[in-house]
Amino acid sequence: MIEEINELKKQKNAVILAHNYQIPDVQDIADYVGDSLGLSQQAAETDADTIIFCGVHFMAETASIISPHKTVLIPDLDAGCSLADSITADQLRAWKAENPEAVVVSYINTTAAIKAESDYCCTSSNAVQIVESIPEDKQVLFLPDKFLGTYVEMITGRDLNIWDGACHVHEKIGELNLGEKQKEYPDAEVLIHPECGCSTSCMMKSAMYFDCEEAHIHSTSGMLNQARESEAEEFVVATETGILHRMRKENPGKKFYPANEESVCEYMKMITLEKLHDSLKNNRFEVKVPEDMVEKARLPIERMLSIA
């Protein structure tokens, strides 16, 4: 199957992009594995005719918005995202109507319809930079992730209006998980994704449930960089467990422990080698954003890519 996938890829001039949470087999066959920012940059730069997106639906949609003349395929259309589902376009329109002067900053984990209603897009690796690029006197509506929003608020010292959304996997990675792991592995460095429930208490030093002085809060690729560059030999990793494959592969001498073994995104795991093969062979399932929406949704993504 691996040989056939590689053969089909050549025949169709296709590129396989995979998120850091994909199953090991899919990561290993991909041309590029990365975080949301890296994946959208790859989608913007590739000269392939077809992009096979091994990730979740909003990521394939973003690739289709950036490269509307390319064929973008996702191997399973049901690969969704609970965070992207935590706000609808109608809810955002109503929120904007209540705050007509505000600037809307949407996390990339949103549908194309939400992006089309936004001023800026951001990912977990550039959210701070994007908010800092907006004049301080402007009111900001930040959506949909409350933990990432609180993290940005604390780093920038800005007062944001934050939507009450969360990812069902990350919100469960709480302070108690991390406290237990720190007791078990006292020498380990702690790597935290800003979507985690524990990231907020880590930032609120006065309400500390665990010793977060040494915690590093990053996007998935930022966590991978930190694991590579750090002198530490052990790490507690607070995010979806799919990232551990690449961490272990890139750092054979180091040890990585999940903060919570049950942090598995069932949507990310829907993509298998069999479905990837089928997708390449039969050109399915195409993700195409309607033209009028592409125009509006591209602007906040382009603004983001030009800032960070």
Binding site for ligand 13P (CB under 6 A): 20, 35-36, 109, 123-124, 167, 195, 219-220, 240
Asked if 82 is part of the footprint of ligand SF4 (rule: CB under 6 A), the reply reads yes
Q: Give how far the C-alpha of residue 261 lies from the chain's centroid of Cα atoms, to the nearest Å.
A: 19
| CB closer to ligand 13P out of 65 and 167 | 167
| Residue 167 near ligand SF4 by CB under 6 A | yes
Considering the complex, what minimum distance in angstroms separates the CB of residue 254 from ligand 13P?
Answer: 20
**Residue 36 contact, options ligand 13P, ligand SF4, none, Cβ 5-8 Å cut-off depending on partner type:** ligand 13P
Task: Based on the shown chain and the rule CB under 6 A, indicate whether residue 56 belongs to the binding site for ligand SF4.
Answer: yes
Nearest to 120 by CA among 143, 100, 96: 143
Question: Do the Cβ atoms of 223 and 243 come closer than 8 Å?
Answer: yes
232, 189 in Cβ contact below 8 A?
Answer: yes
The nearest distance, CB 264 to ligand SF4, in angstroms, is: 9
**Is 33 one of the binding residues for ligand SF4 (CB under 6 A)?**
no
Measured distance CA(37)–CA(54) in Å, rounded: 15
279 binds, among ligand SF4, ligand 13P, none (CB under 5 to 8 A by kind): none
240 close to 265: Cβ distance less than 8 angstroms? yes
The item of ligand SF4, ligand 13P, none sharing an interface with residue 74, based on CB under 5 to 8 Å by kind, is: none
109 contacts ligand SF4 (rule: CB under 6 A): yes
**Contacts to ligand SF4 by CB under 6 A:** 56, 81-83, 109, 167, 169-170, 240, 265, 267-268
